[in-house]
């Protein structure tokens, strides 16, 4: 576990998600504002949170809870490519709405990048694909030293709409 202080003095740490975190996951995963730029719809039941933790977070090679004062308020992952793409990873994260704009996502991304490079020796690049209208997430990555390399036009079908990333 690693801790960092956010802009407003929050103690932020990352740790593996556990099935006992399902109620905390529901705190952000049921919020349409949080799910807006995600591939998933807001969760309708606790079973959705349990399935996310059981089927995605636990078996994932690097997926962590973003914690404030030890309590999960979001999640973050680094997805590493295979074969000839093993040098490249993609970061993804989600954070409860009440913690937006407080430096928590920025601190979590910084920790995830550092830990991702340490965990995967072949990794040379971590990239973030962000919806062209998700200005908050774009700013988080910029503050963490990511460089905008371009726009991937009509790159992803998200909730029935073709989106630029």
pLDDT digit string (tens) for 81-134?
999 999 999 999 999 999 999 999 999 999 999 999 999 999 999 999 999 999
Cα 8 to Cα 1, 12, 31, 103, 126, distances in angstroms:
20, 11, 23, 7, 27
pLDDT of residue 9: 76
4 against 148, higher pLDDT:
148
DSSP string covering 120-137, please? Answer: -TT--EEE----TT-HHH
The secondary structure element, H or E, covering residue 80 is strand 71-80
Give the domain ranges of the chain.
2-163
pLDDT at residue 140 is higher than 90? yes
Cα four-point dihedral sign 100, 103, 104, 108: positive
Q: For the chain, what is the mean pLDDT? A: 94
Cα 47 to Cα 26, 33, 54, 159, 162, distances in angstroms:
10, 20, 10, 21, 29
pLDDT of residue 3: 59
CATH superfamily of domain region 2-163: Gcn5-related N-acetyltransferase (GNAT) (3.40.630.30)
Percent of the chain at pLDDT > 90 equals 93
62 and 76 in contact (C-beta within 8 Å)?
no
Supply the pTM of this predicted model.
Answer: 0.92
Query: What is the band of 10 on the pLDDT scale with cuts at 50, 70, 90?
Result: confident
pLDDT digit string (tens) for 52-65?
999 999 999 999 99
pLDDT at residue 1 is higher than 50? no
Tell me the three state secondary structure of residue 35. Answer: helix
């Amino acid at each position: 576990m690693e801790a960092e202080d956010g802009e407003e003095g929050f103690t932020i740490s990352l740790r593996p998600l556990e099935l006992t975190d399902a109620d905390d996951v529901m705190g952000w995963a049921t919020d349409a504002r949080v799910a807006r730029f995600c591939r998933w719809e807001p969760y309708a039941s606790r079973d959705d949170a349990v399935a996310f933790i059981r089927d995605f977070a636990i078996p994932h090679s690097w997926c962590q809870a973003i914690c404030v004062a030890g309590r999960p308020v979001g999640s973050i992952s680094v997805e590493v490519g295979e074969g000839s793409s093993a040098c490249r990873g993609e970061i993804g994260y989600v954070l409860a709405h009440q913690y937006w704009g407080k430096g928590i996502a920025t601190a979590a991304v910084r920790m995830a990048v550092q830990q991702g490079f340490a965990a995967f020796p072949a990794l040379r690049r971590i990239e973030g694909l962000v919806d062209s209208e998700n200005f908050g997430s774009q700013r988080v990555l910029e503050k963490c030293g990511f460089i905008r390399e371009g726009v991937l036009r009509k790159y992803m079908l998200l909730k029935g709409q073709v989106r630029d990333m």
